[in-house]
A and B are shown apart, each in its own frame.
Chain A
Amino acid sequence: MSFLELAGIQKSFGPVQVVHDFDMTIEKGEFVSFLGPSGCGKTTVLRMIAGFETPSGGTIKINGKNQESLKPNQRNIGMVFQAYALFPNMTVHDNVAFGLKIAGMNKAAVDARVKEMLGLIHLGHLADRFPYQMSGGQQQRVALARALAPKPQVLLLDEPLSALDAKIRVSLREEIRMIQQQLGITTVFVTHDQEEALSISDRIVVMNSGRADQIGTPFDIYNKPATRFVASFVGTLNLIEATVVDPASNRISIGDQAITLREPLGPVKAGDTVSLALRPEAGSIAESAKGDTALTGQVVSSNFLGSVIRTRMKVGDPVISFDMFNAPGLSPPAVGDVVTLRFTASDLLIIRE
């Protein structure tokens, strides 16, 4: 039995349905990220788990117990918000102690637990400070300690890094992951930042228009996108329209150049169009088009992005981007050059939805 079970969850606001038949199971100690653009329903699902929204349909179970009849303050769920939500009238110590006092712990136990939590986030020396005397990153760490202090059964993180600057985001997300692993707490993390989701999750749920388009490990989500949306939302991707030449031998053509795919084309006939995905980092420039999996085209732009150089080349109608790692002495292709991009057949993925 899974620790957190979401079965057939639906949510409508008036006539607008924002979550459709959302099913998911999360194991104890797992770190799952809900990833998707604004308005895709990821925060709504999180809020339903917390009890702040009532599902229009479906069931939510935590540790086998149905949560429907429980109010948010009865669910024993820790939550961290984008806006920190520390109580401005309380010090760091009192913020972290808040949930413990409500749970009825005695003063000595409260103080010990607060000390332990502040030690975990390395802010023990700021116990007497008020939230307004701290930076955003520090406040969010306190919010995390406050949420974890009463030992919740599930930790919910609602875009906790969105309000922070880039450097703090990276360090804090690593800290969150470390603490999560250390405590072994089941965690659901909502974000619209794919890098965040890819870097710290055990599994990712990519959400689109209130539905889970794909649930998988970061590796699977990135390398084997199940839908066109997942392919385009996660990472940079070339979406190429190709024409089927011979379905039996998986042969297609891009522009007027033929390629044999490794993956079976499925029930298509010659002349049909199929969508293919190719990551920019999958290919490399070759001297000549040896073998079958190479495309030759004319460079239309070449942009220096620091660690990589992203080049776009025209192969008939489609324009394909590819990356080259920056290195001293590298001479990037110039606009107008004719180059050959070589890759393996398995790098070309068929997008079926």
Chain B
Amino acid sequence: MKTQKIGAWIAVLFGASYFIIPLIATFEFSLRMRRGEYSFDAYRSVFSDVQFRESFSYSIVMAILTIVFGILLVVPTAYWVRLRLPQMRPFVEFITLMPLVIPAIVIVFGYLRLYNSSSFIPFTGSARGTDLLLMFSFMTLSLPYMYRSVDTAMRTIDVATLTEAAQSLGASWPTIMFKCIFPNVMSGVLSGAFITFAIVIGEFTMPSLLNRPAFGPYLQLIGANRAYEPPALAIIAFAITWASMALLQLVSRFSKSAPSKP
């Protein structure tokens, strides 16, 4: 029994080291900008770069919008499929899997062909339109993960009976959706949101080919021309992503355990 436990710990440490050692190495390298001593010069250089602030803010805003609209699309869809259209589930699952098998570059060329400035829906005719198109493309890319996370969370609750219980108490569809179903699939929504956030922050192909100032293309540009800033950027991106995840966890845990006030 004890040997098994030690074996399990060794396996965990080995797995963790696969992830942690490169991270430590990246961090260590990011501190070596000043010759002969460790310093945060690379970070200073990154933070003082206006392009970094702009591209990172842009990606954060895009990530938030993608998460919000992704939730508004996926949660009602998964709910309705479970409640009224269970026979459509394999079809919907197939559709949500498409972004995994169609490369992003193919999708974006499809978009450019369909939504160019001379098409019926000229998304790319303006900066805001292209931003909207980019957000939709991010939603498409994150669809397999968001849908699965939400659908798995819905499997843990009896959607049909909860809906009927709420209806018998006089609830309308929006009330059922936002007060009875949504809070109970929050764990799945958050998981989907984390993955969506990570995808949006790191995505290069879509914003690059749509020519939008996102963090992915900026990272590529810096990586191609500088030595110490790219690892510093990678560490910053990791730190911000982790902080966001921790914050979301904290918020969800707090809201779930909040007692009522009779």
Q: Does A50 contact B (CB under 8 A)?
A: yes
B164–A79 CB distance below 8 A: yes
Q: How far is the CA of A246 from the CA of B180 in the complex (A)?
A: 69
Q: Does B77 belong to the interface (CB within 8 Å)?
A: no
- Of B88-96, B116-124, B254-262, the one contacting chain A is B254-262
Measured in the bound complex, the distance between the Cα atoms of B83 and A52 in whole Å is 12
Query: Hey, which chain A residues are within 8 Å of B165, CB to CB?
Result: 79, 81, 85-87, 143, 146
The answer to whether B180 touches A87, judged by C-beta atoms less than 8 angstroms apart, is yes
Binds A, one of B12-20, B47-55, B139-147, B169-177: B169-177
Chain A residue at minimal CB-CB distance from B258: A91
Question: Please, which residues of chain B bring their CB within 8 A of the CB of A81?
Answer: 161, 164-165
Would you call A98 and B260 a contact (CB within 8 A)?
Answer: no
Residues of B contacting A87 in the complex (Cβ-Cβ under 8 angstroms)? 162, 165-166, 179-180, 184
Chain B minimum-CB-distance residue to A115 = B262
Is B183 engaged at the interface, CB distance under 8 Å to the other chain?
A: yes
Q: Among residues 100 to 149 in chain A, which have CB atoms less than 8 Å away from a CB atom of chain B?
A: 102-103, 111, 114-115, 127-128, 143, 146-147
CB–CB B164/A72 < 8 A: yes
Q: Please, which residues of chain B bring their CB within 8 A of the CB of A83?
A: 158, 161
B164's nearest neighbour on chain A, judged by CB, is A52
- A98-B161 in contact given A127-B260, A128-B262 (Cβ < 8 Å): no
Task: For A92, give the chain B residue with the smallest CB separation.
Answer: B260
A residues within 8 A CB of B162? 85, 87
Instruction: Report Cα–Cα, A28/B80, bound state, in Å.
Output: 37
Q: Which residue of A lies closest to B173 (CB)?
A: A73
Complex partner residue of A102 from B158, B170, B184, CB under 8 angstroms: B170
Q: How many A-B residue pairs lie within 8 Å, measured between CB atoms?
A: 82
Asked if A212 is at the interface (CB within 8 A of a chain B CB), the reply is no
A76 at the interface (CB under 8 A from B): yes
Residues of chain A lying within 8 A (CB to CB) of residue B180: 87, 89
A312 at the interface (CB under 8 A from B): no
Q: Is the CB of A127 within 8 A of B169?
A: no
Determine if A73 and B170 form an interchain contact, defined as CB atoms under 8 angstroms apart: yes
Given A79-B164, A128-B262, is A88 in contact with B172 using a C-beta cutoff of 8 Å? no
Q: Is the CB of A76 within 8 A of B170?
A: yes
Q: 1/0 per residue B185-203: CB within 8 Å of A?
A: 0100000000000000000
Contact of A128 among B171, B172, B179, B259 (CB under 8 A): B259
State the Cβ distance, A76 to closest chain B Cβ, in Å. Answer: 7
List residues of chain A with CB within 8 A of the CB of B172: 73
Contact of B171 among A73, A85, A143 (CB under 8 A): A73
In the complex, what's the smallest C-beta–C-beta distance from B76 to chain A, in angstroms? 18
What is the minimal beta-carbon distance from A236 to any residue of chain B, in angstroms?
A: 34
A150 interface residue per 8 A CB criterion:
yes
Q: Which of A51, A73, A77, A127 makes the CB contact (< 8 A) with B262?
A: A127
Among A78, A88, A114, point to the contact of B184 (Cβ < 8 A).
A88
Is A94 located at the chain interface by the 8 A CB criterion?
yes
Whether, in the assembled complex, B87 has its beta carbon less than 8 Å from a beta carbon of chain A, the answer is: no
Bitwise, A49-90 to B at CB < 8 A (1) or not (0) is: 011100000000000000000011111111101010111111
Would you call B98 an interface residue if the criterion is a C-beta within 8 Å of the partner chain's C-beta atoms? no
- Contact partners of A11 in chain B: CB under 8 A: none
Among A85, A93, A99, A115, contact of B161 (Cβ-Cβ < 8 Å) = A85
- Whether the Cβ atoms of B262 and A93 lie closer than 8 Å is yes
| Among A52, A75, A85, residue most surrounded by chain B Cβ atoms (within 10 Å) | A85
Question: How far apart sit A88 and B175, CA to CA, in the bound complex (Å)?
Answer: 15
**Contact A79 B262, beta carbon cutoff 8 Å:** no
Which residues of the partner chain A approach B256 to less than 8 Å between Cβ atoms?
Answer: 89
Instruction: Check if B157 is an interface residue, CB within 8 A of chain A.
Output: yes
- State the A residues within 8 Å of B (CB): 50-52, 71-79, 81, 83, 85-91, 93-94, 98-99, 102-103, 111, 114-115, 127-128, 143, 146-147, 150, 156
Identify 23 residue pairs between A and B in the complex whose beta-carbon atoms are under 8 Å apart, listed by A's number: A51-B167, A71-B167, A72-B168, A73-B166, A73-B168, A73-B169, A73-B171, A77-B168, A79-B164, A79-B165, A81-B164, A85-B161, A87-B179, A88-B157, A89-B180, A89-B184, A99-B169, A102-B169, A103-B170, A127-B262, A146-B165, A147-B168, A156-B168
A73-B167, A75-B168, A94-B260 given; 7 more Cβ-contact pairs under 8 Å: A81-B161, A83-B161, A87-B165, A89-B183, A99-B169, A114-B262, A127-B262
5 closest residue pairs by CB, A with B: A99-B169, A85-B165, A89-B183, A79-B168, A72-B167
